[in-house]
Structure 1
Amino acid sequence: MVNVNLVFGTVYGSAQFTAETLVKKITALGFKAILKQPHELTGFVPNESEYLIVVCSTTGQGDIPEDIWPWFAQLKTTAPYLPKLKYSIVGLGDSSYDTFCGAAKQFDELFSELGAQALTPRLEIDATETMEPELEAIKWLTTWQAAASANKD
C-alpha cells in the first residue's frame, strides 16, 4: 500500500485537527498515513512514490500560515522537480474574503510548477458554510480514495 504524507498549515488549529482526522480515516482505509508536523518539514521533499495531502488554512490577505511558510518558501526556492508526485490540497477559508483559500491556491500553483500532478481537484472548505471542516474533509475522502485506487501502478 502506498504511503500518504499529510502536512498542514494552521493559524487557530482547524487545519491541524482536520489533518489529524484525515490521518485516522486514511489509515482505516488501509493506507499508511504519516502526519508531518510543521517543525518536521525542514528539508522535506515529498517522495514521488507516495501521496501528499496538504491541509492549509488561509490568513491575512490570502497568506500562508506562519507555521508552514518556511516549507513553502523552501520548496519555492529549491524547486525540486516532482513529475511523479500525486498530491491533493484541502483548503480552509472564509468566502466572505476576496482571498478565499488563498494559501491553498498558492500550494496548488507551487506543486503544479514543480511538475507534480493533482490527484484530486482542490477541496475548498468554507467557514461560512461549516463550523466543522473535518466533516467536509471526511466526505471528500471518497473522492480521494477513488482517485488513489485508479492511480495504482
Structure 2
Amino acid sequence: MAKIAVIVGTVYGAAQYVAEEAKALLAGLDHEVNLFEEAKLDEVLAFHADIWLVITSTTGQGDIPDNVFPFFLDVQNRFPLLTGKHFAVIALGDSSYDTFCGAGEQFRQLLTEIQGTELAPMLRIDAGETLEPETIALPWLQQQFSS
C-alpha cells in the first residue's frame, strides 16, 4: 500500500472529476489517498506521500490552471527534493493547440528536476478525442497502481 497525494489543476472541472474518480479507484486498491484540490506545498509535504499524482488540465497557451499555479511556483521556488519518491502525471488538453498538455509537461519537468522518479510516462488525454477523460485515466491508473 502506498500513500498517494493527488494534486489537481482544473479550469472547467474535468480534471477535478478525474481526480475524484482516481481517489476512489486508488482507495479501492488499498492505497492511502489524499486529494489536494487547492494544493499547498506544506500540506502535501506533511502528508508524507510515497507518490505525487498530478492530474491537470491545460489552459490558455499551455498554462497551468489558476487553482494549482501557486503550488507549482512554491515547488519551483522552494525545490523540495523528491529523492526516492515517485510521481505520475495525467494531463488533459486539446491536440488542436500547439501547447497540447503543456501544463502536464511543465509539472513533469519540474518533478523530474526535484529528483522525483517518474512512475510511468505522462498520460496525455485529448479532449478532441474523448468527452469522458476518466474512461482513459482510470484503466491507466489501474495498470500503474495495482500491485
The answer to whether the superposition gives a TM-score over 0.5 is yes
TM superposition outliers: structure 1 runs of 4+ over 2 Å: 42-49
Question: Structure 2 matches for 1:103-142, cutoff 5 A?
Answer: 103-142=103-142
Q: How many angstroms apart in 2 are the aligned matches of 1:141 and 1:45?
A: 20
TM-score w.r.t. the length of structure 2 is 0.93
Q: Does the Cα contact within 8 Å between 1:91 and 1:123 map onto a contact in 2? A: yes
Question: Structure 2 matches for 1:80-99, cutoff 5 A?
Answer: 80-99=80-99
Number of aligned residues: 146
Q: How many angstroms apart in 2 are the aligned matches of 1:91 and 1:3?
A: 21
RMSD of aligned Cα (Å): 1.5
Q: Does the Cα contact within 8 Å between 1:23 and 1:35 map onto a contact in 2? A: yes
- Unaligned segments of structure 2, at least 5 residues: none
Cα deviation, residue 48, structure 1: 6.1
Q: Does the Cα contact within 8 Å between 2:9 and 2:37 map onto a contact in 1? A: no
Q: Does the Cα contact within 8 Å between 2:5 and 2:44 map onto a contact in 1? A: no
Q: Deviations over 1:25-80 (max 9, x none)?
A: 11111111111121x42534546651110000000000000000000000000111
Question: Structure 2 matches for 1:4-153, cutoff 5 A?
Answer: 4-38=4-38, 40-46=39-45, 50-146=50-146, 149=147
- Unaligned segments of structure 1, at least 5 residues: none
Q: Does the Cα contact within 8 Å between 1:53 and 1:87 map onto a contact in 2? A: yes
User: What percent of counterpart residues are identical?
Assistant: 40
